[in-house]
């Protein structure tokens, strides 16, 4: 499939969901610079994890607490999303084609959410790493649990076999090695948020630190 880092809607197959930011004339948020490479960034490196061992737990304020294994996860309908990726350390990687399962579909696999659910804690397999995300951002049309990037299975260093991707927020909210999604009523800081990173993290508003 043809695509490019600065592809526009016209260049992409109709089935691809475009993140709204990819339609902006200026795609680099304030204080960011563009990188062509894809840097690897995480707190403690990849866990030892094969797809066969991988499970995704859907917990907290879901109607039916559920664990999906790799095979069950792959049976869910897929989406493709074209989006930009902004790291709070000031690099931006434009034009990523992600493939995986929409966060909306993931939530349906647990029978939907209880009405009190307002935030999500995404848990990584890397030793208790977490991040908190407002439900509205988590459930945006372009948020997904991704298994592929630019047509290739997601590399372990980038969060394979499956990572969360929340294109509307800084990249630290896109949990690699996703192991559990915990739906909660009251916001609670995750790993970086406890260290001062922003509870929301909108790159266009430079929500780098604080509330
Ligand atoms: N599980 C987990 N997810 C994580 C992290 C981490 O340490 N553990 N780091 C975050 C940070 S700070 C960034 S910038 C992005 C980087 O993703 P990349 O390494 O694929 O570029 O992953 C995010 N997701
Ligand atoms: Mo980051």
Residue 124: which pLDDT band, with cuts at 50, 70 and 90?
very high
Share of the chain above pLDDT 90, in %: 93
CA distances from 86 to 9, 19, 120, 169, 174 (A): 20, 13, 20, 8, 10
Biggest CA-to-CA distance, the chain = 43
Is 149 touching ligand 1 by the criterion CB < 6 Å?
no
Give the count of beta carbons closer than 10 Å to the beta carbon of residue 190.
23
Ligand 2 centroid – CA 171 distance (Å): 6
- Phi and psi at residue 9, to the nearest 5°: -50, -35
Is 124 touching ligand 1 by the criterion CB < 6 Å?
yes
Nearest CA to ligand 1 atom 2: 176
The chain-wide mean pLDDT, for the chain, equals 95
Domain 13-22+29-36+77-205 has CATH 3.40.50.1110: no
Q: Where are the alpha helices (DSSP H) in 128-200?
A: 135-138, 191-194
pLDDT for 2:
46
Predicted structure pTM score: 0.96
The label of the residue with tokens 């403690």 reads 44
Is 7 touching ligand 1 by the criterion CB < 6 Å?
no
Residue 5: which pLDDT band, with cuts at 50, 70 and 90?
low
- Contact present, 4 and 98 (Cβ < 8 Å): no
């Amino acid at each position: 499939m043809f695509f490019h880092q600065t592809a526009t809607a016209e260049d992409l197959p109709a089935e691809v969901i475009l993140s709204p930011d990819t339609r902006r004339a200026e795609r680099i948020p304030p204080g960011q610079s563009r990188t062509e490479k894809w840097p690897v960034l995480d707190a403690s490196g990849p866990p030892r994890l094969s797809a066969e061992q991988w499970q995704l737990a859907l917990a907290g304020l879901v109607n039916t607490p559920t664990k999906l294994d790799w095979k069950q996860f792959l049976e869910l309908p897929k989406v493709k999303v074209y989006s930009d990726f902004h790291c709070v350390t000031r690099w931006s990687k434009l034009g990523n084609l992600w493939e995986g399962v929409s966060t909306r579909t993931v939530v349906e696999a647990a029978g939907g959410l209880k009405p009190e659910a307002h935030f999500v804690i995404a848990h990584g397999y890397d030793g208790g790493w977490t991040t908190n995300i407002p439900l509205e951002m988590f459930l945006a049309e372009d948020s997904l649990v991704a298994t592929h990037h630019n047509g290739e299975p997601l590399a372990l260093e980038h969060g394979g076999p499956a990572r969360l991707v929340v294109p509307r927020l800084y990249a630290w909210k896109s949990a690699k090695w996703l192991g559990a999604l915990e739906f909660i009523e009251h916001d609670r800081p995750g790993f970086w948020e406890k260290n001062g990173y922003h509870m929301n993290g909108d790159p266009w508003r430079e929500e780098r630190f604080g509330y």
